[in-house]
């Protein structure tokens, strides 16, 4: 297998990264992909940083064994906590979702006031604040940890009353007439786009809601193009999906993202 024909690996703590995979497949239809969801150990957000680093290292080694040419950390917590560390020892390029997400938020914001909804681990890392201020030192950033949202998505309760109540509690303080209100909400976890409908309803029409999926796929395209590793031949691409935990639950939530166009979910063992 030539380097160009090798797959792209996409890693997340659960099903959320499938939102990135969906955009990757849309923008780069000729590429083979392998998705890995670490369902057995999700959520990553509340875990200590050293655990997240260890899990992410295991995943990158697993993708290397699958002969991937590039790995996307589609998990915001893993990107925030582990990206720079795992890059030091990785044998393939590793791309995260934080900086592409920050760029998307700044492009959307008219007032340079951005609210970030993220996991506890991502908020503790302050990675989005740094990335946003690297791109625009004058941007105003407010980050909110949303520990209830990932379990709701993983349980398939994206349109439930519980989801609406949780979103109101997290989004409400960021919007309104206050002088520190934001005009853009950045979904700083790849699970959260599955709650976009509820988040947009709570935020209202005056607030833009953005995520990192589109800009991450663009970043992957740029990296592969610059190294002449883009694969041509849309229509014959192969896609595999792996999970470390209960595959039936994973499959049922994933089906809401891809419909029936989802490969059989295979078992993966990390460690």
* Euclidean distance between CA atoms 233 and 31, whole angstroms: 8
Residue of 103, 133, 129 lying closest to 116 (CA atoms): 129
CB 155 within 8 A of CB 225: no
Is residue 146 flagged as an active site residue? no
Of the listed 71, 75, 132, 141, which one is catalytic?
75
Cis bond leading into 21, ω under 30°?
A: no
Question: Which stretches of the chain are DSSP H helices?
Answer: 18-27, 49-65, 76-89, 98-108, 120-125, 127-135, 149-154, 161-171, 196-203, 213-226, 247-258
Q: Please tell me the distance from the alpha carbon of residue 255 to that of residue 251, in angstroms, as a whole number.
A: 6
- The active-site residue, picked from 24, 150, 189, 265, is 189
Question: Residues with catalytic annotation?
Answer: 75, 189
């Amino acid at each position: 297998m030539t380097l160009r024909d090798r797959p792209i690996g996409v890693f997340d703590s659960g099903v959320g990264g499938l939102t990135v995979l969906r955009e990757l497949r849309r923008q780069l239809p000729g590429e083979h992909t392998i998705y890995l969801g670490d369902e057995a150990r999700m959520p990553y957000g509340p875990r200590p940083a050293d655990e997240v680093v260890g899990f992410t290292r295991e995943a990158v080694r697993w993708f290397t064994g699958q002969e991937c040419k590039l790995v996307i950390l589609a998990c915001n917590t893993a990107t925030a906590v582990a990206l720079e560390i795992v890059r030091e020892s990785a044998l393939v390029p590793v791309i995260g979702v934080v900086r592409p997400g920050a760029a998307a938020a700044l492009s959307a914001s008219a007032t340079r006031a951005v609210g970030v909804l993220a996991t506890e681990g991502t908020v503790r890392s302050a990675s989005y604040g740094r990335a946003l201020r690297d791109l625009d030192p004058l941007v105003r950033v407010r980050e909110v940890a949303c520990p209830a949202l990932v379990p709701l998505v993983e349980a398939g309760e994206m349109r439930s009353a519980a989801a609406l109540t949780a979103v109101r509690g997290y989004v409400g303080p960021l919007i309104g007439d206050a002088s520190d209100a934001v005009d853009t909400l950045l979904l700083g976890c790849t699970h959260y786009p599955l709650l976009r409908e509820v988040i947009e309803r709570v935020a209202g029409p005056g607030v833009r809601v953005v995520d990192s999926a589109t800009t991450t796929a663009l970043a992957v395209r740029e990296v592969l193009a610059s190294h002449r590793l883009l694969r041509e031949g849309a229509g014959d691409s192969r896609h595999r999906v792996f999970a470390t935990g209960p595959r039936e639950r994973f499959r049922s939530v994933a089906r809401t993202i891809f419909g029936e166009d989802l490969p059989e979910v295979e078992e993966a063992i990390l460690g």
